[in-house]
Structures are given as C-alpha cells and as structure tokens.
Amino acid sequence: MTQAYRREWLVLALIGMTAFSFYHAAGAQDVSRLALTQSMSADGSLRIDRWGEGALDTAIYDGHYYSDKAPGMSLLALPTYAFLRASGLVDTDVERVGVWHNQRMLWVLRLMTGGLGFFTLVFLVGRVAEGIVAGTGAATATALGLGTLVLPLAATVFGHVVAGALAFAAFVAAWSGSRASNGRDLRFAVGGLCAGLAVLVEYQTALIAVVLVVYLATRTARGALVFVAAGLPSAVALAAYNTAAFDSPLHFSYSYVNELFAQPQSSGLFGIGVPSPERLTDVLVSWRGLLVQTPVLVLAAAGLVLLWRSGVRAEAAVCAAIALLFLWITAGYYDPIGGLSPGFRFFIPAIPFLAVGLPCAFRRWPIVTLAAMTISVGAMFYRSGDWSHEGIREFDNVWSILAPNSIGGRSMLVGALIVAAFAIAAVVVSTKSVLNLRR
C-alpha cells in the first residue's frame, strides 16, 4: 500500500530545503518546551523555575513552574540538546539565559524535532499516495508539505506536525497490517507504539488512537489488542511524568496553567466545548480559514469521497472521521487560532489523513487540483515568511542567519529568492508527474 515514486528524493529534498529555510522568532512554545529540556538535561528536574517567571506557557503547581505542554517534544529534543551541551556549542552562558536566545542552536533543535517529524510525514504521505494512484506521490507530498499549515510549523518545536506524523504512521501500520498475510502483529505493534508516542507529544491525538482501535476491532480483534498493548508504555511514561510533576498520574499540566489562561481553559474539556456556527465559519471560510488559505484541502475532502466509491471504504471513513473530529476540536476551542500562529494549528494532525484523498483528486481533476495546490503553496509560503513577526513584514530565513555579517540585509532577500526557487521547483516536478497521468 506504500510505493516509492519517480524523483522521490529530489522532491523530498526540494520540500525539505524550502521548509527548513524559514526561521521564526523565538516564542512561548520554545521557552516552555526547551526550558523543560534544559532542566532535565542540566538539573535532572522537571521544574523550569529559572525561566518560568514571566513566561506565558507555564503551569504553576506547589509554588513551582512547569511546562504546560505535553512532554513529548521536550523529550525528543533531549538527545540533540545533550550533544550540543557536551560539545560546548551550548555553554553555561547560553544555558543560563535559555538556548532559545541563540538563533543557530534554536534552529538546530527545531530541525531535529519538528523538522524530523515534518520530513517523516511528507515521506509517508507521498508513498501512501503513490500506492493509491501511481504517479501522484510527488504531487501529494508537495501539496501536503508546501501547501498546508504543515509548512509554517515545520521547523519549529510546536508539537502538531510531529504528533501528526506519528499518528499517521500508526494509521499506515494498522492499514498495512490489516491487509498483510504475514508480519501482522509486528505492524500492529508498531502502529500502537506510534499512536502512544503521538499522545505524548499532543494529548488530543488520543482521539486518533481511539478511531484506529475501532478500525482494527472491526477487522481483527487480535490486531486491536496488540495495537493497544503496544501503546501502553507511552501511557505509563505519561502517568510517571504527571506523578513526578503534579503528584498524580491523572493530573495533567493543563490543569495548572497560569492565571492568564486558567479561566477559559476551565470550561469544557481543557477549553474545548461545542463549536458555534460562527466559530466554525471562521475556521473554514474566513480570510484565514482552512479552505481559503489552503483550498487544496477542498479537493482532498472530495478525493476521500472518490476513495470511498473506489471500494477503500474503511480507510476513507477513518480519514474522514479524524478530519471531522479535529475540526470539532479546532472550532470548539476557546482560542481556535492558538495564540501566535500561522493559522488554525490544532487541525494539523488531521491534515495528512485528509491528504489521503488527494491521489484520487489528482487523477479525476488534475488541472483543478494542481491549481488549488499552487494557490495553497503560494499562500503558505507567504504565511511561513511572516507569521511570527506579529505584523512586522520581514522574511527571516536560515540563509540570513547563517550568512556572514558582511552580507547584511541583502542576505534576507537572497535567501527569500533561494527558498522561492526550491518551492517552485517542487511544484514544477509535481505538476509534470500529474500531467503524465493523462497520457
């Protein structure tokens, strides 16, 4: 069900060089997650008291500061941070003020966390697409990687892309296991492990795990049991973290967010309630709505209908259910934009599941789908360059950060042109592959 496609590594390289060239100003997510990484590495502690005062995304318990995020991204950053610290690239001065104040070290940490998740996700989605409709892998990978909200958050420590990659990997493993004649238990175990890790990164992906368990239970009870058993170590790890930090396995960090967010998050389930029609409209069709900024998602949803009609009904239903659940979460949250972000980021873990419909859309409506992809790539390229500046129109990129100081401001323009060239090349290669389907 997964298949390599022509020029795969060229397409992946172009997408990766585009996504990883962006540099965003350090923000609350960096402080919250990397402060926990630093505390675990340097102090062997889960407390972030040294950096907590004045930080936005913190939990306060028993007079101490903690990260208010799921611990997965902080744990993922540990090996890279330990290496940087041992090699002297992160010295005591950098550690004292916080590694997020060092642009180069911050970019490396982002690349080895969110970047790895991004690359894995694009790789998997492209191969699944090629397995569904030969010749669509490159275009689907490009549409996902450059034409959705996955792009602006690729080289960051936001957890949504990594969680989406792990959840989608769990789906791929469950799907392949349900169709395999041998090695099924191993595939189900890999799926359960990935699903459990996804929850460690972003708690809301527990809903995806539940959907996948139901999917497997309708096909093979043994597979569902193996899947659940493989996810238990992550549940135990999360319970241990909660106990060490908040004195109970059932006490989560979001229960102790600082007073700025305590009131709105106390309503519903950690701030998630029933979405109003106005909120749903905002999420979908406002100027920053999912369907306006990334119209390729409209074709992806239509493609899921085509996938259903082709006979792949269970998997199409899984993808549609996950998309609808995350639309509910996004529109039902008290702050659907999620503070400073390029868009409705809580929906991101569902995007790869929607993308499963793109191969059928590229086959049925190649010109329309390519046009939607191109518009989406342009919109996301723009958002990737400016979202972290709160209205200041700049285009910070890795080329300007790593360039010699003598280049000065010109490196920003040169970097922007380089990144644009990567993105255009990826779109051109993808377009050729889809147009070849018509021959």
* Structure token digits, residue 147: 């034409």
Q: Please name the amino acid found at residue 210.
A: V
Q: What are the extents of the domains in the chain?
A: 8-438
Question: Closest Cα partner for 434 from 350, 381, 371?
Answer: 371
Give dist(CA 150, CA 341) in Å, integer: 12
Identify the DSSP state of 57.
S
* Residue from 285, 301, 282 nearest 293 by CA: 285
Report the pLDDT value the prediction gives residue 419, as an integer from 0 to 100. Answer: 84
Beta bridge partners of 59: 66, 257
Contact 145, 98 (CB under 8 A): no
Task: State how far the Cα of 140 lies from the Cα of 230, in Å rounded to an integer.
Answer: 30
Q: How far apart are CA 372 and CA 374, in angstroms?
A: 5
Nearest to 67 by CA among 110, 27, 31: 31
Q: Structure tokens of 229?
A: 């058993």
Structure tokens at 174: 């469950």
On whether the pTM is more than 0.85, the answer is yes
Distance of CA 76 to the CA centre of its chain: 14
Whole-number pLDDT of residue 408: 44
Does residue 4 sit in helix, strand or coil?
coil
217-239 per-residue burial string, b: 16 or more CB within 10 A, e: under 16: eeebeebbbbbbebbeebbebbe
DSSP 155-216: TSS-SHHHHHHHHHHHHHHHHHHHH-SSSHHHHHHHHHHHHHHHHHH-GGGHHHHHHHHHHH
For residue 407, what pLDDT is reported?
46
Residue 434 vs residues 57, 359, 368: alpha-carbon distances, Å? 44, 10, 11
In the 8-state DSSP scheme, what is residue 333?
Answer: B
Q: Can you tell me the distance from the alpha carbon of 32 to that of 130, in angstroms, rounded to the nearest whole number?
A: 38
Amino acid in position 309? R
Per-residue pLDDT of the chain (439 residues; tens, 9 = 90+): 789 999 999 999 999 999 998 888 888 899 999 999 999 998 899 999 988 777 778 889 999 999 999 999 999 999 999 999 999 888 888 888 899 998 889 999 999 999 999 999 999 999 999 999 999 999 999 999 999 999 999 989 999 999 999 999 999 999 998 887 788 999 999 999 999 999 999 999 999 999 999 999 999 999 999 999 999 999 999 999 999 999 999 998 888 877 655 455 556 565 677 788 888 999 999 888 999 999 999 999 999 999 999 999 999 999 999 999 999 999 888 788 877 889 999 999 999 999 999 999 999 999 999 999 999 999 999 888 888 765 445 566 776 666 655 444 445 666 677 788 889 999 999 998 888 876 5
Nearest one of 342, 255, 344 to 58, comparing CA atoms: 255
